[in-house]
Amino acid sequence: MMHNPEFAIRAAGLRKCFGSITAVDDLNLDVTPGEIFGLVGPDGAGKTTTMRMLCGILHPDAGSAEVAGFDVRRDPEAVKRRIGYMPQRFSLYGDLTVAENLFFFANIYQVPREERLRKEAEVLAFSRLAPFRTRQAQYLSGGMKQKLALACTLIHTPSVLFLDEPTTGVDPVSRRDFWRILYDLVKAGVTIFVSTPYMDEAERCNRIALVNRGRVAICDTPEGLKARMRGEMWEVVADSARQAKMALASVPAVRGTQVFGDRLHVMIEGDGEAAIHMALQRAGVTAAGVRRIAPGLEDVFISLFSEQSDE
């Protein structure tokens, strides 16, 4: 039976409580086939819980979800056969070698022999793990472990891939490698659902959902999200970014400030430049430069969530 669903993932009103804590609360999502969808939010926002419910390994307390055309509550096993899930924690067998892990999962998913050999060669090639075939997984570096985990989740050619913070604790080079692989997969028609706390990674997604306290705060393309920001983003380079921050905190038009080393990002409404210069002068802070910048996702994120917590 071929399923050609309109959505790769569709969640409506998902809720999950652990005791008195509501981890996911009325969460709604639509992910179209073939896109990279990012679930972005701080730790404890409910990203992992959401992902586990979508994978059919955690029962939602309320709401419904469909993944790859199957209902995760009614038919979780059908969902499991069509997805790949890479948990946040390394969950392969450390005492099995790279090749043995691939062999094991290929057979658990009943991949036919010829296809298995072809896929093994393929995933070993793109993950550049071929030289380490006979090494036990526990002796791989962090980046290689993640690539092996990805390789194992791809061995049965899933149509939807769930990646829970796949690059946390991975060096920048391996991260770039990792994303290169993801783009290749999307080209091959795989839908990727990835959670991340990193903004630079979020910017690589086609669409992102910002989650906070178990709810989707906003869902849009990275560009769309940035365009939603009220006001302008200014960067102030000062000897003491902290002093500058304090000087600007009292200005009514300033909606938020964020220190990045010796620089300060200021979000401001109205005539930003004049207000910033005035405030710095009054406080006696010398600024080496004040310039308008395009807001990054991080700025959007912080401004959105600080607005929410103000409410």
Partner 1 sequence: MLQRIIMIIWKEFVQISRDPRMLGVVIVLPIFMLLLYGYAINLDVKHVRLAVYDQDGSQASRELVGAFTRSQYFDMAVQAWDERAVTQALDAGKARVALIIPATYSADLARGRRATVQVLVDGSDSTTASTAIGYLAGIVQSQNLQVSLQTLERAGQPVEHRARFWYNPELRSTNFIIPGLIAVILMMLAALLTSVTVVRERERGTIESLVVSPVMPFELMLGKLIPYVIIAFFDVLLVLTVGVFVFHIPFVGSVLLVLALSTLFVAAALGIGLLVSTVAPNQQVAMLTAVMATQLPTVLLSGFIFPISSMPHAIQLFTNIIPAAHFIRILRGIVLKGNGLAELWAPSLFLLVLGMVMLAASSARFKKTL
Interface ranges with partner 1 (CB under 8 A): 52, 55-59, 76-77, 80-81, 83, 85, 87, 89-96, 100, 104-105, 107-110, 136, 152
- Comparing CB distances to partner 1, the nearer of 168 and 243 is 168
- Comparing CB distances to partner 1, the nearer of 67 and 233 is 67
Three-state SS at 259: strand
d(CA 41, CA 70): 27
Length of the chain: 311
- Comparing CB distances to partner 1, the nearer of 112 and 252 is 112
- Comparing CB distances to partner 1, the nearer of 100 and 262 is 100
In angstroms and rounded to an integer, the radius of gyration of the C-alpha atoms of the chain is 23
Pull the structure tokens for residue 109.
């998913």
Q: Three-state SS string across 191-238, please?
A: EEEEEECCHHHHCCCCEEEEEECCEEEEEECHHHHHHCCCCEEEEEEE
- Comparing CB distances to partner 1, the nearer of 72 and 300 is 72
Cβ at position 108, least distance to partner 1 in Å: 5
Cβ at position 151, least distance to partner 1 in Å: 13
What separation in angstroms does the CA of 167 have from each of 146, 154, 197, 198, 264? 7, 17, 10, 9, 27
d(CA 106, CA 169): 27
Cβ at position 223, least distance to partner 1 in Å: 33
- Comparing CB distances to partner 1, the nearer of 84 and 256 is 84
Cβ at position 99, least distance to partner 1 in Å: 11
Cβ at position 48, least distance to partner 1 in Å: 10
- Comparing CB distances to partner 1, the nearer of 80 and 215 is 80
d(CA 117, CA 292): 54
Cβ at position 171, least distance to partner 1 in Å: 22
- Comparing CB distances to partner 1, the nearer of 185 and 267 is 185
Number of H helices, E strands in the chain: 11, 14
| Strands ordered across the beta sheet of 263-268 | 254-260, 263-268, 232-238, 287-293
d(CA 291, CA 179): 32
- Comparing CB distances to partner 1, the nearer of 153 and 303 is 153
Cβ at position 64, least distance to partner 1 in Å: 16
Pull the structure tokens for residue 292.
């308008």
Cβ–Cβ < 8 Å for 172, 135: no
Cβ at position 81, least distance to partner 1 in Å: 5
Cβ at position 125, least distance to partner 1 in Å: 22
∠ Cα 235 240 246 (to 5°): 75
